[in-house]
Structure 1
Amino acid sequence: MGLPLNLTVKMGSYLLKQKLLRREKFPLIVEVEPLFACNLACAGCGKIQHPASVLKQRMPVEQAVAAVEESGAPMVSLAGGEPLMHPQIDEITRQLLKRGKFVVLCTNAVLLPKHIHKFKPHRNFAWMVHIDGLQERHDESVSKDGVFDQAVAAIKQAKAAGFQVYTNSTFFNNDSPQDIIEVLDYLNDELKVDRMQISPGYAYEKAPDQDRFLGVEQTRQLFKKAFGDGRRKKWRLNHSALYLDFLEGKQDFECTPWAIPSYSLKGWQKPCYLMADGYTETYQELLDTTEWDNYGRGKDARCDNCMAHCGYEPTAVLATMSSLRESIRAVTAG
């Protein structure tokens, strides 16, 4: 399905501006992590591996907003950790919306019912709830029973209150094509979430479980089978058609890590959200001091099996926008 119309227009205008200014590198989305603390301990994530002194820190509102403003990106992903543990996450959200940004707030949704009253529905705001499978599979992924039911109840509550609700599902080597089909059918047809984001499990180096990540060929076969029989077109997937082609092996792209940079309590992370090879104080410094040509498949072993959307969706978006045929396809097909 691709992006919602208002975001497509926003992105299109932004990309045209970058082209007119002849900028080679620029962010499409900024991922802001205003804290590392979380109320869960998922096996595929390592954020809570930070020292206790770091886990207690919370990014000031002004710092978060300034980083986004500095980058100039039209879209912001508020992540973590669990953003709803930040006492001023609602104010960060309001300030970004006030500045015309499209904001998605990524959450496991356990705390959403407690904090939903602090937010108001907005055409440029969406909850992004993590759902990594149906009940048993999701609860296994987050290492806690009952979280799937809590997330589903929170999604229903947010939808009933008039909010846009997206989901984010990460799949690993213990998932089958049928697992993907079942969870996406459920989210699409029964919960009727507005958009669904998917990604193959990426080898996040701090994750406590390093044996669940997919290889490139595994990823291609998994999604090729899951997308079969026209299912890909019926699901409200929050991706460009070219990125979905990439997942099932119909396209191959270079990674574009500078287009979805990550900003946290430590600064701008080199080179991307998945690898921490140092930090810079400014986005321009990130651009200028990172050896971008040293990263990507065949260049850095850590990149060899990565097909995560944070690296490859921007490449697909840029390829779509530079092709009239793909731009038309993005609007008319999935």
Structure 2
Amino acid sequence: MRLVRHPVLCNYYVTYRCNAKCSFCDIWEKPSPYIQLADVEQNLRDLKRLGVRVVDFTGGEPLLHRQLPEFLQLAHDLGFVTTVTTNGLLYPKYAERLRGKVDMLHFSLDSSEKEQHDRGRGVACFDFVLESIRVAKSLGERPDVLFTVFRENLGQLEDVYRNITRPNGLVLIINPAFEYNAVETGERLTEEELQYLSAFGKRPGVYLNEAFIELRRDGGNHVAAPVCRAASTTLVISPSNELVLPCYHLGARSFPIEGRLHELYRSEEVQTLAALEGRLPQCEGCTINCYMQPSFAVETSKYFWQALPSTLKYNWYKGTWKRMLAR
């Protein structure tokens, strides 16, 4: 049963440019402009009219955009819950300007070993992540560590938890790696490894959406009976001020927004394409977390019930439920 029939999340790409070269991502290879302040102002107003609750300012590396603090302030003033994920390279420099504007601040860290983390990210950023944690805490911020799990770094979870997140009072977010396009992410996790993650996710100070694990056991999204609700739950806005459908990773169509996001999203052309969410040939087997998270939240299914406990726990700990209720 569908519980929410409007989009709840916007993945707002401030730029596709990145100062890292992660082995499991191809976005840094793309040429890209930067979003414009006037467009952000108009689009945020339209996003609110459409019912969106969370705005994830993403990239690329979002901190490459020098007006990011202004975007975040605009979003905060309109009552959105804001999210930013960064590799940490620029956070210490801009931390003061970002202070109090990011509800869910994530630092990407995939190993407790400097060489392993930096190798996966294609740039020396391990030390910057540790410095970012120190700076954020000194400013009264409550960042999280986002750990992208592959078979090769699975053994690092314990050390990151024991030596970095727990001593610093941070939430460890477990982000199982996913495949898309021609990006190589290594061998898929075995059932034993999925069981290990599931058990790890029940520890204090750890967030793991259990539905991510179940979806992988089920072979991902299936076009014959799709669980993906990417286009109806999530608006994707590109740095060129385009609405991208059905999702960023598939990106089958891009529509120029031109100051009319509300009308564009509700247009027949966009809604016809959105209705194909999870049903296109490329959607078979998809497990992309950033679209499955909202998909699981808007309709009752086994994934809804599996996702609910960890989602409630995380939002209670972060206090974001207060901003949700305040709108």
Coarse TM-score class (shorter-chain normalised): 0.7 to 0.9
Partners of 1:199 and 1:308 within 8 A in 2: no
Match of 2:20 in 1: 40
Match of 1:270 among 228, 231, 245: 245
Cα gap change, 1:96/1:195 in structure 2, threshold over 3 Å: closer, same or farther?
Answer: farther
Counterpart CA distance in 1 for 2:187 and 2:283 is 12
Structure 1 residues 327 and 115: alpha-carbon distance in aligned structure 2, compared to 1, 3 A threshold: closer
Structure 1 stretch displaced more, 324-333 or 183-192: 324-333
- State the partner residue of 2:227: 254
Deviation (angstroms), 1:238: 4.1
Which residue number in structure 2 is paired with residue 152 of structure 1?
Answer: 130
Q: What is the match of residue 290 of structure 1?
A: 273
Contact 1:220 1:249 in 2 (8 A): no
| 2:282 paired with 1:307 | no
Count the aligned residue pairs.
295
RMSD: 3.4
Partner of 1:226: 197
Task: Give per-residue Cα distances to partners, 1:151-187, cap 9 Å, x unaligned.
Answer: 1111121022111202322223x42542344434445
Deviations 1:9-42 (A, max 9, x none): xxxxxxxxx95xxx63x22211111112211122
Once the two structures are superposed, the pairs formed by residues 228-243 of structure 1 within 5 Å of their partners are: 228=199, 231-243=200-212
The residue correspondences of 1:1-334 to structure 2 (distance < 5 A) are 24=5, 26-51=6-31, 54=32, 57-72=33-48, 73-121=52-100, 125-134=103-112, 135-145=114-124, 147-172=125-150, 174-175=151-152, 177-194=154-171, 196-205=173-182, 210-215=183-188, 218=189, 220-228=191-199, 231-247=200-216, 254-258=227-231, 259-266=233-240, 267-280=242-255, 281=257, 282=261, 283-285=265-267, 287-290=270-273, 292-293=275-276, 295-296=278-279, 299-300=280-281, 302-319=282-299, 329=309
3-state SS of the aligned residue for 1:189?
helix
> Structure 1 residues 114 and 324, CA, compared in 2 at 3 Å: closer, same or farther?
closer
Deviations 1:269-301 (A, max 9, x none): 1211212212123333474141543635xx52x
> CA deviation digits over 1:298-322, x for unaligned, max 9?
x52x434431212222232234699
Say if 2:201 and 2:207, in contact at 8 Å, map to a contact too: no
Kept in 2, the 8 Å contact 1:168–1:196? The answer is yes
Q: Percent identity?
A: 16
Structure 2: how far apart are the matches of 1:237 and 1:65? 35
Aligned counterparts of 2:195 and 2:303: Cα–Cα separation in 1: 24
Q: 2:227 aligns to what SS in structure 1?
A: coil
* Aligned residues of 1:121 and 1:164 also touching (Cα < 8 A): no
Contact 1:169 1:197 in 2 (8 A): yes
Structure 1 residues 225 and 143, CA, compared in 2 at 3 Å: closer, same or farther?
A: same
Q: Residues 184 and 264 (structure 1 numbering): CA distance in 2 closer, same or farther, change over 3 Å? A: farther
Q: Following TM superposition, by how much is the alpha carbon of 1:192 offset from its aligned partner in structure 2, in angstroms?
A: 2.5
Q: CA deviation at 1:197?
A: 4.7
1:165 alignment partner AA:
P
C-alpha displacement of 1:246: 3.7
Q: Do the aligned partners of 1:34 and 1:64 also contact (CA within 8 Å) in 2?
A: no
Closer, same or farther in 2 for the Cα pair 1:143/1:332, shift >3 Å?
closer
Counterparts of 2:27 and 2:129 in 1: how far apart (Å)? Answer: 20
Offset from partner CA, 1:204-250 (integer Å, 9 cap, x none): 44xxxx332554xx36543222333xx32114344554445445669
Provide the C-alpha distance between the structure 2 equivalents of 1:50 and 1:198, rounded to a whole number of angstroms: 24
Amino acid paired to 2:196 = K
Shift of 1:256: 1.6
* Structure 1 unpaired stretches of 5+: 1-17
What one-letter code is carried by the residue in structure 1 that aligns with 2:84? L
The separation in 1 between residues aligned to 2:68 and 2:234, in whole angstroms, is 20
TM-score for both structures, normalised by structure 2: 0.76
Secondary structure at 2:43 match in 1: helix
Amino acid corresponding to residue 284 of structure 1 in structure 2: R
